[in-house]
Each structure stands twice: as structure tokens, then as C-alpha cells.
Structure 1
């Protein structure tokens, strides 16, 4: 039996939405990419009310398909984001390390973005939405119950000592945790679970 502590990422540790933040960073660094991005956004505008978030996310990253230097762009992106992490987290994770066998970062954000940062933040395990080399989702979007499914793939037997999130969409994980914490929009930690979802959280 492994003792684990689990964190969501966007708006729990990181103040913003990872995918959107990377998009804006990418446009600034590669201005001509705006034409490919607009093409993707036009497709998304037709799908937004008709299909799942997974289908939209399969289109979202088309603009980086042919970028041979994407790893460097992702590295540069994270180097520019230090000021957007909530201060509470860095002291909290120091205490977490004393309590748990494994610290787990679990997120609906793309694996190819988070796998460049999770170890630096102090996590042992990353569970996130998996993408193939064409930037299409493998399996399901890592959200809601799917987060529990993915966690169960990694750990056969575990006790979740604490879980941190900003969103009610993570209720399946809150239900498994002994200690429950929610992070408000100001980056303040509170005991319990969030009171409501945001707009994106309501979309499956």
C-alpha cells in the first residue's frame, strides 16, 4: 500500500490554463504561426457546441505538427512562466514530501507540455492527457472519472492522503482522499472542496 498525495495543475498550482498560455506564448515567438492557428480556431468554432472537448483538443495543436524545435519552444515557455505559480505550493510540497511515498501531478493538460516541468516542481509521477506524435489524444481526455481510471493504472493499491484542486470536476478524486483542499482564484488554500465549476469544467 503506497501513500500518495495528488495535485491538479491548472489553477491549482499554475495560475492559468496551460494550453491557452502556451498558445499565446507560441504566437509571440512565432508570429507567422497565426495563420495556422486561425485555421485551427475556425475548425474549433464549428465544433464547439457539437462535439466533445476531446475532439476540439485533437484540433487545437495542429499548428505545431511540423515544428522540429518544439521541445525547445516548450522549454522556453516554462522558463517564462515562473511568476505564474501560486506561492503556497512551494512550501506545501516540502511538507508533502515528508508524508507521502509518491507525489502525483494529475491533469487534463497535454503530457508533452507537462512532462517538461513536473519533476522540476517536485513530483514523482505525471498523469495527464496523452497525445501521439500528430498531437491527437490517445485514449480519453484525462478529466473527471478518467483521472481515477488513470491513477488506478499506475497504482494498484494506494491511500490518498491529500488531494488539491480548484474544480468540482475533480470530485471523483476528492471522494478518494482523506484530506481535501481547494485552491481559490487568488491561490489561497482552503480545507474542503470547491463550491462550483468554471465554464470549461462543465464541458466534457
Structure 2
């Protein structure tokens, strides 16, 4: 049986929120993207007011990429990883990934952020699988329509088990690890024998804390 080391991404492996960093990167690449700032603010406000759920919020926010050719998107996200995303990784997170990979664990990154750019994190050679929220490519172009469900909470467990079943991997969950900055990942925490909260401000009754830099 395999043992997994599962990592959330935003604020667990990275110091900043990756989708917002992509937006800032796009504005830096082309100042015309500044015109999407009001939409970004609006989508965030609608989420805070609980008028939009996370699906609607992300689909609204991603207007700045709507209709872009898939080949151009691939070029952008590769450059985004190299110039920005790879620069905001916690050293302690990467060290832990390397440590557990060295002990024979399979490394899974599971996030609610969009998979189309998270896949660039396969550049971290220890990573075995990346699971994120999927978006639509239609007629060779990116469409800001979510493909399936937002990969958060119970959906993370569902997607993980689907991948394990597809690859016929049996897992020793009792001896597996889960790292996240948020209790929204409780379904994954409950799945493993070694759950850890990252940079969490409060004490938790059964989940240990780690502070990463």
C-alpha cells in the first residue's frame, strides 16, 4: 500500500493567493488588463456578501482570460510559474515535500485554485499528482466556465479517491499526511492519521500546528 503526503497549495505551500497573483502578473504583462480591476473587486464583494458562491466568484473573476487561445494560455502560465509563482513558495514546505518523498511517500497537491496553472507545479520534481478546479477549453480557447465542481472540502476527497481508483492505487491513510492552512480541509484532515495545520493562529484540539517560512 502507498502512503500519501497531501498538501493544500494557497497559503500552505505558497505565501500568497495564487489566482490573485496570476491576475497581478497579467496586469504587469499587459497594462490593458487594469480594466478588469473593477470586475475583480465586484466578484470579491459579491462573495463576501454571500451573493456569489465560490464557483460564480471564480467564473466572474476570470474574465481577464476569457476566450484566450489555449496555446497562448499555456505560454502565459509557464511564464507565470517561472517568474512569480515559483518565487512565493515556502522553503519549509518544499523541504517537507523533499523529506517525505525521500521516505517513500507519494506527493499529492490538492487545491481549489485552477488546475490550468497549478499544473506548472509539476516542475517540482517530487510532485506525483496535482488536483485542482478544472475550467473549460472549447474550440481551442479558454472559457471561464468551471468544468465540474469547485475542488474544495468534500470535493477534494472525492477527486482524490477518483484519481486513486483510476490509477488502482491502494493507500495506507492511517500513516499518510495532510498539510493545510485552513479547516475547510477538515474532510482531508479526517482521512489521514497525520494532519497538520500550517501557520494557523489558534490551537486545535487534535490537529498539530507547524509554522512555515
- Does the C-alpha gap of structure 1 residues 3 and 47 become closer, same or farther in structure 2, counting only changes over 3 Å? closer
Report the Cα distance in structure 1 between the residues aligned to 2:24 and 2:5, rounded to whole angstroms.
31
The equivalent of 2:150 in structure 1 is: 141
Aligned partner of residue 80 in structure 2, secondary structure: helix
Paired residues of 2:39 and 2:60 also in contact (CA < 8 A): no
Which structure features the higher share of helix residues? 2
1:65-105 Cα shifts (integer Å, max 9, x gaps): 23332222212211123331111122212221133452100
Pairing partner for 1:80 from 80, 83, 99: 83
Paired residues of 1:164 and 1:180 also in contact (CA < 8 A): yes
Paired residues of 1:44 and 1:59 also in contact (CA < 8 A): no
The equivalent of 1:200 in structure 2 is: none
Report the Cα distance in structure 1 between the residues aligned to 2:24 and 2:131, rounded to whole angstroms.
24
State the TM-score, normalizing by the size of structure 2: 0.80
Pairing partner for 1:166 from 148, 171, 181: 181
Cα deviation for residue 14 of structure 1 reads 0.6
Report the Cα distance in structure 2 between the residues aligned to 1:171 and 1:39, rounded to whole angstroms.
31
Report the Cα distance in structure 2 between the residues aligned to 1:92 and 1:47, rounded to whole angstroms.
33
1:157-184 Cα shifts (integer Å, max 9, x gaps): 3223111111111111111111122211
Number of equivalenced pairs: 190
State the superposition RMSD in angstroms. 2.3
Paired residues of 1:59 and 1:136 also in contact (CA < 8 A): no
Residue segments in structure 1 that go unaligned for 5+ positions in a row: 195-204
Report the Cα distance in structure 2 between the residues aligned to 1:113 and 1:193, rounded to whole angstroms.
30
